[in-house]
Amino acid sequence: MHLLIPFASALSESSRHVLRDLPLPNLTRLLTMLTPRTPDSGDESSLSPPHERALAAAWGWSGHDGAWPFAARAAVADGIDVGAAAWGLVTPAHWHVGRDHVVLSDPAALNLDDDESRALFDAVRDLFVSEGLRLEWGAASRWYVAHDSLADLACASLDRVIARPVEPWLRPHPGAQAQSRLVRRLQSELQMLLYPHPINETREQSGELPMNSFWLSGCGRFQASAPNDPQVADDLRAPLLGDDWVAWAQAWRALDADELAGLFAAARSGEAVSLTLCGERSAQRFDSAPRSAWRRLADRWRTNEPHSVLEAL
């Protein structure tokens, strides 16, 4: 039983204030009972956030920063035969052009339905095919592209870029300048192609955001996953990315009362459990381990404040 919690903390002062005043009794008990592993330490500029690195490690994947095959895994779940090809996730998106920066709006804010998404997909498909790329529709917010050049292409995760300026995350990477230039060109040409599209015009008239770009991520060839997948508690994601700290605190309390309460009950009954907490820079895994009578007695008097653990992430 392994619970993985992405977006458990952030680097903002608001996050620290929330965590220091947030009662999380079940997390406190678990941190007292479980044994920490060596943390996966990083920084906030890595292309892959800590929760993606932690998932890749739990699944036994090989890869590197920005090049874990999440697209191929999602494509299989969407019923696509990925074969031996290298795949990337193409996420329909709206780029907000401001005075100083271009910011990637949360793709969920597009509210694309299947019919709109398929029509936009059909409108841009030849753009990708003309470059020798295979484009497949998986869901309204998930399109997929396949080409051998994607096998080792490092791209920033969507979770790194949402609500942030895109420029720092579009930097070319050593050995992949040609692929990076192609992605930038496709993004620009797609914007020009869709600007006059009737669906975008209708959406704007009704107050919806137009699709004017895409984000590429999760590139690589499909890799099988190790058994016993972690359970991912994703309820903290949306409020954190939206800077809604009241909702984030509420989601933390609900998580502590539900999933973490269940994990604590399992650990107390002697089951083997694991907990992985992920912030913006690092991930920290905690595992159950056999405890002597002396250790159990000592644990009654030992506390590990959640906010100090979470702020270190």
Q: Return d(Cα 16, Cα 71) in angstroms, integer.
A: 33
Over pLDDT 70: what percentage of the chain? 94
pLDDT digits (tens, 9 = 90+) for 295-309: 554 455 455 688 889
Q: How far, in whole angstroms, is CA 38 from its chain's centroid?
A: 22
pLDDT of residue 294: 47
**CB contact set of 206 (below 8 Å; sequence gap of 6+):** none
pTM: 0.90
pLDDT of residue 258: 96
Domain ranges within the chain, ordered by starting residue: 2-60+229-311, 70-221
Do residues 87 and 141 lie in contact, with contact meaning Cβ atoms separated by under 8 Å?
no
pLDDT of residue 305: 82
Q: Return d(Cα 140, Cα 117) in angstroms, integer.
A: 5
Q: Return d(Cα 180, Cα 155) in angstroms, integer.
A: 9
Q: Which two tokens stand for residue 134?
A: 């295979």
pLDDT of residue 175: 66
Residue ranges in the chain modelled with pLDDT below 50: 292-294, 297-298, 301
User: Is domain 70-221 annotated with CATH 3.30.70?
Assistant: yes
pLDDT of residue 301: 47
pLDDT of residue 281: 95
Q: How far, in whole angstroms, is CA 18 from its chain's centroid?
A: 22
Q: Return d(Cα 30, Cα 276) in angstroms, integer.
A: 11
pLDDT digits (tens, 9 = 90+) for 109-155: 999 999 999 999 999 999 999 999 999 999 999 999 999 999 989 99
Look up residue 117 and give its amino acid: S
